Structure 1
Amino acid sequence: MARHLTIAVCQTGPIQRSATRAETVDRLVALLERAAAAKAEVAVFPEMALTSFFPRWEMEDDAEIEAFFEEAMPGQETRRLYEAAAALKIGFALGYSELDRSSGKTRRYNTMDLVGPDGKFIGRYRKMHIPGGTEASAGTTTHLERRYFELGDLGFPVFDYCGVRVGLALCNDRRWPETYRMLGLGGAEVVLIGYNTPLLLDEAPSLGHLRMFHNHLPMQAGAYQNTVWVAAAAKAGNEDGQQLIGGSCIIAPTGELAAQVTSLDDEVIVHRADLDLIAVCRKVNFDFELYRRPDQYRLIAERAGPL
C-alpha cells in the first residue's frame, strides 16, 4: 500500500521586536489553519518562530534576555497554537528559545519541538551546530548565538509521527552533512528544519549572489545522499533592520525542489510527499543496509586506531 505524508511549510515574514507573543501566535495559528485547509498532516515553522532573531544584539541583562525565551511549552501565550493543532488535527514542529531550569541551573537552548495532531508533545531537539560568537566583531554580521545558547544535549533523535519517522534540525544544522547522516542512520524518512538566515554577510560581500544557492544546496544534497524528504521553513523579510533570506522549500529524496515559496511574507506551501520514493532512491545509490551499517563504521574506527 502506498505511503504518503502531506507536509506544509509555514514561512513567516519578519517578527519585529515590538511584536507581542499574542500577536505572533495569532499569525502562527492562521498559518496552521491555512495548512490544514490544504489537507496537510504536519507543518513546520521557522527557528525562533515566536520572537525576533535576538542574537543580532548584545545584551547583558538576564531579564531582558529571558524575555525572548519560553520556560514551559506550551505556556500561557502559546497554548492556543497547541489547541488549534488538536482542533484542526494537524501536528507541527516549532522552533523557539528554551529556558530549562530542570537541573537547578538555568540553561538556554535553541530548540524545536514536534507536536502531534492531537496537540500533544512528541519529542524535542536542541540545536547542535551553534554558529557565531559571543561578542560582536567589526566588519562581521553580528550573530551571537554562542552568547545566548548552549550546545544541544539531546543528539539527533528521530521520532514516530503517525507511522512516519521524523527528524528535526535548526538553521546552521542544515549546512552540515553530519545532521542528515545521523538522522538517516536513525531511520528518518522526513527531516523538518526551521531557520533564520541573513540575506547578506558583511564579511563576505563577494558571495552575496550565492546566498540562496548556498541555502538550498546542502539541504538538497542532504536529502539526496540520505534519501529523505526535507521540509524547511524560514523567517523572511526585513526584521528589525536585518534582511532575512526566506527561500522556504520542500525537497524530495531525489534532491529536487518539490515546492518553494514565492514571497518574503507569511506563506504556506504544501506537498504530498511520496514516502515510497525513498525506497526507490535507496535502490539506485544509497542502500543503507548494505553501505551504512553502524557495525561497519565501528570496525573502520577500530582499525584506524587513535588519532
Structure 2
Amino acid sequence: MREIVIGAAQMGPNQKADSREAIVARMLALLEEAARAGCTLVVYPELALTTFFPRWYMEDQAEVDGWFETEMPNAATRPLFDRARDLGIAISFGYAELTPDGHHFNTQILTDRQANIIAKYRKTHLPGHSEYDTERAFQHLEKRYFEPGDTGFPVWRTQDAVVGMMICNDRRWPESYRVMGLQGVELVILGYNTPSVNSQDSREGEDKRLYHSELSMTAGAYQNATWVVGVAKAGDEDGHPLMGGSIIVDPNGYVVERAKTTGDELLVHACDMDLSVFGKETIFDFKRHRRIEHYGLIASQTGVVVKV
C-alpha cells in the first residue's frame, strides 16, 4: 500500500486588513492539527496568504503589487516552512507570485517533507475580465492582475506517488486533468476561491455552485483514475462571501471527505495511491482505448466554429 495521509486545510475568510503574519498563524494551527492526525501532506487554498483581491478594481500598480509575493519562502511564511520541516509534513498552498522579471502569476507550490519547494504550478485558465464591468454585481479581475500560467500541467513524483496541481477554475476544464492523466497522475491537489453567487447571474447561488464544483472534481477523478483534493478559502471576506465545499475524492469519483463549515477546517484521509491502478488498467487504460486521430480540434481550436 502506498498511503499518503492528506490534510485538506480549508481556510475561512482572509480580510483585506489581515496581515500575512496573522494568516500564517492560522495556517500553522491547521498544520499542528494535521500533525496530530498523522498527516504527511497538507494542502491549503488558492491565494492562501491574502484576501481574494481580484474583487477590487485597482489602477495603481504599486497597490496591486502589494498583494504579491516576490520570494518564497519569505519573512512572513518562513515560520510555516520551518514548522512543516520540524513535523516532517509536506505542504502545498497558493499565492500571488511576482517574478524577478516582473511577471504576475496565480501560483501554487508543493514541498517535500523537509520543506524544500519541489514543484511550482501557475494557473492556466484565468476566469473573469480585465476592465471594470458595470454589469457585474461585483468584480472578478483575474485577467487584469494575472498572466496565464506558463508551466502547463506537469507532474512530480513525491511520497512514492505521481502528483499534479491545478488552481480553482482549472478544475472546471477536463483538459487540465487529462494532460496530467496522460502522465500517470495519481493525486491532483488544488486550491480555490469561489464566490458563493455568480456575479453575472444571481439565480446561480451557492447550492448550484457547490454542485458544479463537486461535479468537476469528481468527474476529473473518475475519468483519470486519480485522487483529487480540492481545498477552499471560504466565508465572508469584507462583505463578499466565498463558498466552501472542500472535498477529498477517490479514484472512482467518490467523495470520501467533505467540509462541513465555511471556516478553518481540516479534512483528513489516508489515501492509498494504489487505488488508482485498477481504473488505469481497465476502463481508462488510455493506451488501449484512446482514439487521438479524432481529437485534433481539442488542441487546434479555442472557440466554437459551427460548420453545419
Shorter-chain TM-score category? over 0.9
Aligned equivalent of 2:15 = 16
Aligned residue identity for 1:43:
V
Q: How does 1:7-156 map to 2 (within 5 A)?
A: 7-101=6-100, 105-140=101-136, 141-156=138-153
1:264: how far off? 0.8
Report if the CA contact (8 A) 2:4-2:159 is conserved.
no
Listed as ranges, the gaps of 5+ residues in structure 2 are 302-308
Distance of 2:241 and 2:125 partners within structure 1: 22
| SS state at 1:169 partner | strand
Listed as ranges, the gaps of 5+ residues in structure 1 are none
| SS state at 2:234 partner | strand
1:301: how far off? 6.4
Aligned equivalent of 1:263 = 261
Aligned equivalent of 2:306 = none
Aligned residue identity for 1:160:
R
Report if the CA contact (8 A) 2:2-2:160 is conserved.
no
| SS state at 1:212 partner | helix
Report if the CA contact (8 A) 2:229-2:248 is conserved.
yes
Cα distance per residue 1:241-285 (max 9 Å; x no partner): 110001111001111101011111100001011222111223441
1:186: how far off? 1.6
Aligned residue identity for 1:126:
R
Of 159, 167, 188, which residue of structure 1 is paired with 2:156? 159
Of 166, 169, 172, which residue of structure 2 is paired with 1:172? 169
Distance of 1:149 and 1:203 partners within structure 2: 21
Aligned equivalent of 1:187 = 184
Aligned equivalent of 1:253 = 251
The alignment's TM-score, normalised by the length of structure 1, stands at: 0.93
Q: How does 1:281-300 map to 2 (within 5 A)?
A: 281-292=279-290, 297=292
Q: Relative to structure 1, is the Cα distance of residues 59 and 249 closer, same or farther in structure 2, using a 3 angstrom cutoff?
A: same
Q: Relative to structure 1, is the Cα distance of residues 64 and 254 closer, same or farther in structure 2, using a 3 angstrom cutoff?
A: same
Report if the CA contact (8 A) 2:84-2:113 is conserved.
yes
1:139: how far off? 3.0
The alignment's TM-score, normalised by the length of structure 2, stands at: 0.93
Aligned equivalent of 1:272 = 270
Distance of 2:163 and 2:203 partners within structure 1: 37
What percent identity do the matched residue pairs reach? 44
Aligned residue identity for 2:219:
A
| SS state at 1:207 partner | coil
Deviates more, 1:207-216 or 1:107-116: 207-216
Distance of 2:198 and 2:279 partners within structure 1: 36
Q: CA RMSD in A?
A: 1.8
| SS state at 2:149 partner | coil
1:163: how far off? 1.5
1:18: how far off? 0.5
